[in-house]
Amino acid sequence: MTTLHSFDQALRLEAAGGDRPDTWLGHTSPDYWNMVGPFGGTTAATALRAILLHPALLGEPVALTVNYAAALAEGPFSVVAKPARTNRSTQHWTVELSQAGASGDTPEVVMTATAVTAARRETWSQNDTPMPAVTLADASGRLRFSTSAWTHRYDMRPVRGVIPQVWDGSGSDSLTQLWVRDDPPRSLDFPALAAMSDVFYPRVWLRRATRVPAGTVSITTYFHADSAQLAQCGEGFLLGQARAQAFRNGFFDQTAQLWSEAGVLLATSTQIVYYKE
């Protein structure tokens, strides 16, 4: 009997059936728990998984925007994924993830998302953002946080921008570069790529060398590769890079890139993050 990878177990969805053809049912996973809820990357990947399971799906993911409306609690949840419009080569989606509220009866929306899928075709292509000239040998050792179970599910090896060892306010920039892959290793696909776009710890921690409460409000991921290119990555590492551009009035942004070991830019993302003083 084949054992389901912990990531696939976390994203496991069952069709609700009956009069709810666009609805899937899932359950949070302790393997990907963060400090106050599930790792946001797996929540984004769950939204994408619901789209990929839909029988009306056209093509493959091009863009995914996920908005975190509230903390997802431990337990069951439902995901509704609907094609809002289907054109000749593109398809537009809306997604809502809901969970029973405090009263235990009326479900409350905790995440909303939109996505675009498309039937890709061969065209002129070019990487205009080359991969930084770093190798696995440049990594400084494995990164993990003892308080966050999800970090044990990724093999993350920082090259620069490791989390500060001393919180003394001496930070000078917000750039992190790291190698990352699933642990145990798993063949790369779109949900995994969506999740890895969110593996970077809050940029404000690095820039200020001060640990303050922070959490992603919204993240958009753009997929530049098709499924065949993802398959070529196999179980290899991806090089991830993230930096912020501005910190102001309780919010900062973060841009990120993910390259294959062969130097192919697979995905880029941008997110807005809330932080407290």
DSSP code of 38? B
**Tokens encoding 170:** 């001496």
The rounded distance, in Å, linking the Cα atoms of 228 and 266 is 11
Query: Which three-class secondary structure state does DSSP give residue 25?
Result: strand
**Residue-level pLDDT at 208:** 95
> Which pLDDT does position 105 carry in this prediction?
72
User: What integer pLDDT is reported at residue 104 of this predicted model?
Assistant: 65
Side-chain-facing half-sphere of 79: CA atoms under 13 Å: 31
In degrees and rounded to multiples of 5, residue 214 shows phi and psi of: -155, 150
pLDDT score for 263: 96
pLDDT of res. 103: 63
Domains of the chain: 6-118 (2.40.160.210), 137-275 (2.40.160.210)
Which of 158, 153, 122, 175 is closest to 239 using CA atoms? 158
Q: Using DSSP, state whether 229 is helix, strand or coil.
A: helix
pLDDT at position 186: 97
Q: What is the mean pLDDT of each run of 10 residues along the chain (277 residues)?
A: 90 93 96 93 98 98 98 96 97 97 80 97 91 94 85 96 91 96 97 98 96 96 97 97 97 98 97 95
Question: Considering the entire predicted model, what is its pTM?
Answer: 0.95
